[in-house]
Structure 1
Amino acid sequence: MSEFTFAILIRETNKAKASSALRKLHVHSCLFPANGEWLAVATENAAESGAEQARYLSAELKTHSFYFIHAEDHGWHYDLFEHGERKGTLEINYETYDHSNPDHANFSLLKKLAVNEVALARLKNGLHARNAQGDDLLNSVEHFRQALGLETISWVSFDYMSTLSKDQLDEVGAVFIEPTNRKRFSADSIILGLYFNHQRVDGPMDFHV
């Protein structure tokens, strides 16, 4: 079975602050530490909306974020955001041994975020090689993870996290975040709704006791 990862990575260590921002997305999610500087998020619809969710969290928390995808048999991709603005993107295709323009990866910003500059240099050099070799591209995702200290971000998705036991979740410090309700009804609105609905069906409702 091949790895599929759909993860949002936030440069934030305050889980309560991140949880509050996540609830505003109105989507079920799982939050856990990726390392000492980054939190990882898996949302139930990350495959469709992960980039926009990463952009929102970057803006809401005024920090950097990645939307990171790795499909082991196909390739990998990231979008990098800073305070809600897309600052970099990279896509590697394992099937065609091709990749997007390295100039769009924003290696200058990656260098500021990196914890392992040697791994980052390997990623950059492999992409800038005139004829990138297959091994360079196949190993590029590991260079990326090592550069940011994100080696644990593998097999991360909401579906996968949902299969873990409580002990396994506790081991990685993971918590599930329930979305904030989109609508809240006051008691008065419920009574008025019943009143007008009753009017249409049975005629006027008598509120006198």
Structure 2
Amino acid sequence: MNKEKRTEIFTRWRNDNPHPTTELEYNSPFELLIAVILSAQATDVGVNKATRKLYPVANTPEAIYALGLEKLKSYVKTIGLYNAKAENIIKTCKILIDEHNSQVPDNREALEALPGVGRKTANVVLNTAFGQPAMAVDTHIFRVSNRTRIAAGKNVLEVEKRLMRLVPKEFLLDAHHWLILHGRYTCTARKPKCGSCLIEDLCEYKEKTEL
């Protein structure tokens, strides 16, 4: 795919949705961090249901740490892998209190040192909480990047690096949100809705559908 096509694709997405953001609900970098840890292999809808009950009770590292593991589990037990996630969250809260003055760090190395935080989670936090250009490649972004040929790659890291290099600079800050939303609602896994797609004429997917 050439630069002109990519520019037109992101221009259309921006015109349609000028201020895209995550569908996770949060009011601070810490709330976002916890929501993203919980969202691994879970839906944003499911995470929001849990955090709507958790955050009014505890939404700081001290408050969640004070809840303790079993009490925290009772709030997140509707989410897949909740046992491991709750353990990671308690450990992360302790590290934030002890090493970061209870603040979420705004650099990759410190974020990735937190339990339950991998590269993708760090990218979401850096991008969404701190306004840094970063590309959190999930299954939606991986699929859309390969299917459209915006940035094809064999694995997540390859796609991330290509997107960072190939997405025009003016769109880089919001690109990851547009790609996720496109994958979630239009370029869906089983059958993309090509007939109602904003970028159908620019996309290089060979097996377009009528939907």
> TM-score when scaled to structure 1?
0.30
Relative CO higher for 1 or 2, CA cutoff 8 Å, sep ≥ 6?
A: 1
Larger Rg: 1
Q: Normalized per residue, which structure has more helix?
A: 2
Q: Normalized per residue, which structure has more strand?
A: 1
> TM-score when scaled to structure 2?
0.30
